[in-house]
Amino acid sequence: MKNVETKVWDLLVVGGGSAGIVAAKTAVKLGASVLLAEHERPGGDCLWTGCVPSKSLLAAAHHRAGIRKSAALGVHAESVTVDFAAVRRHIDTAIRTIEPVDAPETLQAEGIHVVKGAVTFISDGKAAIGGDRVAYRQAVIATGASPIVPGIPGLRDFVTSETIWDLRDLPSRLLVLGGGSVGCELGQAFARLGSSVTLVEATDQILPAESPDAAAIIADSLRQDGVNILTGRALTEVTGNNPGVPGNTAVLADGTRVEFDQLLIAVGRRARTAKLGLEHVGVAVDEQGRIVVDRSMRTSNPRIWAAGDVTPLPQFTHTAGAFASIAASNAILGLRRKATTSAIPRVTFTDPEVASVGNTSAAHGTRQQTITHDHLDRAVTEDERRGFSRLHFDRKGRIVGATVVSPRAGETIGELTLAIRLGLRGRELAGTIHPYPTFSDGAWNAAIADTREQLNARSARRVIRGLTSARSMWLRLRPHRH
Ligand SMILES: Cc1cc2nc3c(=O)[nH]c(=O)nc-3n(C[C@H](O)[C@H](O)[C@H](O)COP(=O)(O)OP(=O)(O)OC[C@H]3O[C@@H](n4cnc5c(N)ncnc54)[C@H](O)[C@@H]3O)c2cc1C
């Protein structure tokens, strides 16, 4: 740690997850000396406990469901079994395949100085990493977020998105608390692999951030997988919840009792700021403990920046990386480049997927066009007709939001994100030839339908204008009767 202690680093990066790694790589490419401190292992939530393991688990689960469904297409499988140990190995292989990109040696080879240890800020320009002191000119905080565990009476033995990957056996009765993206993805995955799943959501709709019709399709799909969905009911008490002892019961606000063997808590995540010493450097947090940043990713301390799940911005890997790059380049180059938040895509990787971007509310002055997939040719050929593509337009006909519910909707949303970012009008998307037959035909057809409607409305207006002026001319010219 000697040269770490004596040097003044251009940039101290706190946390080696998606945001921290991108911040460090950006700064080092700009010629800065960079110290990246990570108290566990680089890669963060996405690699170890988030995106990578959850999508690997879902891949296995969707294959199993696909085999079950294939009978409708004339393909019969004799017997289908799930080897959970092999599923775990698949997850592990995916992590190990991606891991080298984020490994300390790879980052060191790129010129980033990586140290293991938890950072605590001591004063402006000084921080402690373990027992060592470091000096920095600028810092980026990228410490991420941890699962929230609500204070429920009797709650003792449970797993979260961080610890569910340690399960050796498939739970036979899994209770999932929380119907957001994480709860729906993991609930569907375990149900498809063979667990009996109950999903409890306190609000009236699963996927509360999505439109009710999108959420309803996912709810139907989960029910078809055997998931028992209980919405509008909070978990108030757990009884018999002792490690290794069967016979757990969840008691809901309306008195419903649910027996379970394993409880997954997926009710959101809280910014990791404990022991960072933010009070020593004047970095403000909001009422939920998230580090407040302006649009240039600067905190209330002008030389400290933040990005990723530790901030109030949407909690995704793509936002963590994009905004960390802005934070680091602003810090090193003294710029105030601003983050754009109008076109941030989000995907729930259930089957079907739900992908949304931009302004999807029915705000005043916007209009929307929806194409359901029951007659979308690709959906028909794949027998995947549950779903829709919806575009939202502003007064000028620019695409401002989109929702797609379909297999691989996450792949379709990329082009719609670009359309929003570039301020494209619906007619420009309508005039762009799309390959046939694809699920992206849905959004294309929505754009074509809207363009036609607008043209019809315009010609109707022209005809009405023509008739009105002809009539007023006739009234002026007609012979007056006295
Ligand atoms: C189950 C699940 C599935 C997900 N799926 C997706 C998905 O499909 N797509 C998507 O875009 N997003 C997904 N996410 C969200 C995504 O994982 C996060 O948004 C992303 O990892 C955030 O990156 P980050 O760098 O802000 O935080 P993290 O990745 O959490 O990194 C923070 C790092 O900081 C370290 N750290 C914390 N405190 C200190 C300290 N004091 N000193 C030093 N180091 C410290 C931590 O050890 C950690 O490595 C998922 C999340 C979960 C839980």
pLDDT (0 to 100) of residue 476: 73
Among the atoms of ligand 1, which is closest to the Cα of residue 318?
A: 11
Question: Does the annotation list 309 as a binding residue?
Answer: yes
Question: Does the annotation list 179 as a binding residue?
Answer: yes
Angle, vertex CA 391, rays to CA 462 and CA 340, nearest 5: 115
Determine if ligand 1 sits within 6 Å of the CB of residue 183.
Answer: no
Compute the average pLDDT of residues 360-381. 93
| Gap between the Cα atoms of 417 and 422, Å rounded | 9
Angle, vertex CA 111, rays to CA 109 and CA 112, nearest 5: 100
CATH topology of domain 2-42+103-147+270-333: FAD/NAD(P)-binding domain (3.50.50)
Determine if ligand 1 sits within 6 Å of the CB of residue 270.
Answer: no
| Gap between the Cα atoms of 9 and 5, Å rounded | 9
What CA–CA distances, in Å, run from 351 to 131, 162, 185, 348, 448? 48, 23, 9, 9, 27
For residue 41, the 8-state DSSP code is -
Q: How far is the CA of 295 from the centre of ligand 1 (A)?
A: 21
pLDDT (0 to 100) of residue 471: 61
Determine if ligand 1 sits within 6 Å of the CB of residue 142.
Answer: yes
Determine if ligand 1 sits within 6 Å of the CB of residue 184.
Answer: no
Among the atoms of ligand 1, which is closest to the Cα of residue 120?
A: 41
Which residue's CA lies nearest to atom 12 of ligand 1?
A: 316
- Per-chain mean pLDDT for the chain: 95
Does residue 440 contact residue 434 with C-beta atoms inside 8 Å?
A: yes
Confidence of residue 145 (pLDDT cuts 50, 70, 90): very high
pLDDT (0 to 100) of residue 461: 74
| Gap between the Cα atoms of 244 and 224, Å rounded | 30
Confidence of residue 242 (pLDDT cuts 50, 70, 90): confident
| 0.75 surpassed by pTM | yes
Question: Does the annotation list 181 as a binding residue?
Answer: yes
Which residue's CA lies nearest to atom 1 of ligand 1?
A: 50
Confidence of residue 3 (pLDDT cuts 50, 70, 90): low
pLDDT (0 to 100) of residue 458: 78
Whether the predicted pLDDT of 349 surpasses 80:
yes
Confidence of residue 479 (pLDDT cuts 50, 70, 90): low
Compute the average pLDDT of residues 96-117. 98
Compute the average pLDDT of residues 46-74. 96
Find the range with the poorest average confidence among 34-38, 155-159, 309-313.
155-159
- CATH code 3.30.390.30 region(s) in the chain: 346-455
Determine if ligand 1 sits within 6 Å of the CB of residue 308.
Answer: yes
Whether the predicted pLDDT of 173 surpasses 80:
yes
Cα Rg for the chain, rounded, in angstroms?
27
- CATH code 3.50.50.60 region(s) in the chain: 2-42+103-147+270-333
Whether the predicted pLDDT of 482 surpasses 50:
no
Q: How far is the CA of 19 from the centre of ligand 1 (A)?
A: 8
Compute the average pLDDT of residues 88-106. 98
Q: Which positions ≥6 away from 172 have C-beta within 8 Å?
A: 195, 196, 261
pLDDT in tens, 426-471: 999 999 999 999 999 999 999 999 999 999 987 777 767 776 776 6
Determine if ligand 1 sits within 6 Å of the CB of residue 227.
Answer: no
pLDDT (0 to 100) of residue 7: 92
312 burial via Cβ count (<10 Å: 0-12, 13-18, 19+) = middle
> What is the number of other CB atoms lying within 10 angstroms of the CB of residue 103?
14
Dihedrals phi, psi of 353, to nearest 5 degrees = -80, 155
Among the atoms of ligand 1, which is closest to the Cα of residue 147?
A: 53
Q: How far is the CA of 364 from the centre of ligand 1 (A)?
A: 36
Looking at the chain, the whole-number percentage of residues with pLDDT higher than 70 is: 96
| Gap between the Cα atoms of 218 and 206, Å rounded | 8
CATH topology of domain 346-455: Enolase-like; domain 1 (3.30.390)
Among the atoms of ligand 1, which is closest to the Cα of residue 146?
A: 30
Compute the average pLDDT of residues 344-354. 98
**Count of CA atoms in the C-beta half-sphere (13 A) of 321:** 11
What CA–CA distances, in Å, run from 278 to 21, 28, 211, 273? 21, 25, 38, 8
Determine if ligand 1 sits within 6 Å of the CB of residue 102.
Answer: no
> What is the number of other CB atoms lying within 10 angstroms of the CB of residue 334?
8
What CA–CA distances, in Å, run from 64 to 89, 219, 262? 16, 19, 22
Among the atoms of ligand 1, which is closest to the Cα of residue 21?
A: 25
Determine if ligand 1 sits within 6 Å of the CB of residue 266.
Answer: no
pLDDT (0 to 100) of residue 480: 60
Give the mutation target among 41, 45, 160, 290 for probing the ligand 1 site: most ligand atoms within 8 A of CB. 45
Does residue 254 contact residue 204 with C-beta atoms inside 8 Å?
A: no
Give the mutation target among 207, 317, 325 for probing the ligand 1 site: most ligand atoms within 8 A of CB. 317
pLDDT in tens, 186-235: 999 999 999 999 999 999 999 999 999 999 999 999 999 999 999 999 99
Q: How far is the CA of 306 from the centre of ligand 1 (A)?
A: 13
| Gap between the Cα atoms of 306 and 298, Å rounded | 7
